[in-house]
């Protein structure tokens, strides 16, 4: 089965790790949970939350903002590469951007990995509902 057909559906977050530039992995946060939806119409939506970390260097609002990740838009698939075209987002800097994800499937799971960036890369594991 191809990625375009396999990805359609609803997924719950099974794991979210950040891999730094040296290859060391850590969880994105405590009790991360989320929902990812790929509609057959080519629309997608992702929302992820984690426990609020009370960083004393930040305000309460900043701490709350850092515990939420949301964006939606459309998607396209080419091979194992999924491109999210962001139209709405909790972080306005993401609006209008293409978010690339590399997909690997195993049974009822898909692992979506971001391209390497200055911080490293994100590795998200999703379970099909």
Note down the domain range covering 57: 3-128
Number of domains making up the chain: 1
> Whole-angstrom Cα distance, residue 32 to residue 48?
7
CA 51 to centroid of chain Cα atoms: 17
CA 16 to centroid of chain Cα atoms: 8
Please report, for the domain that includes residue 20, its CATH number.
2.40.128.20
pTM as predicted: 0.91
CA distance from start to end of the chain: 18
**Mean pLDDT per 10-residue section of the chain, whose length is 129 residues:** 92 97 94 97 97 80 80 98 98 96 97 95 98
């Amino acid at each position: 089965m191809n990625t375009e057909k396999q990805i359609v559906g609803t997924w719950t977050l099974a794991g979210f790790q950040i891999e730094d530039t040296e290859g060391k992995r850590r969880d994105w946060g405590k009790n991360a949970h989320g929902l990812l939806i790929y509609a057959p119409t080519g629309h997608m939506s992702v929302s992820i939350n984690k426990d609020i970390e009370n960083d004393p260097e930040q305000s309460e609002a900043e701490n709350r903002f850092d515990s939420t990740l949301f964006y939606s838009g459309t998607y396209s698939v080419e091979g194992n590469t999924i491109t999210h075209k962001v139209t709405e987002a909790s972080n306005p800097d993401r609006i209008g951007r293409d978010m690339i994800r590399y997909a690997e499937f195993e049974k009822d799971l898909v692992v979506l990995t971001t391209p390497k960036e200055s911080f490293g890369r994100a590795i998200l594991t999703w379970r099909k509902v």
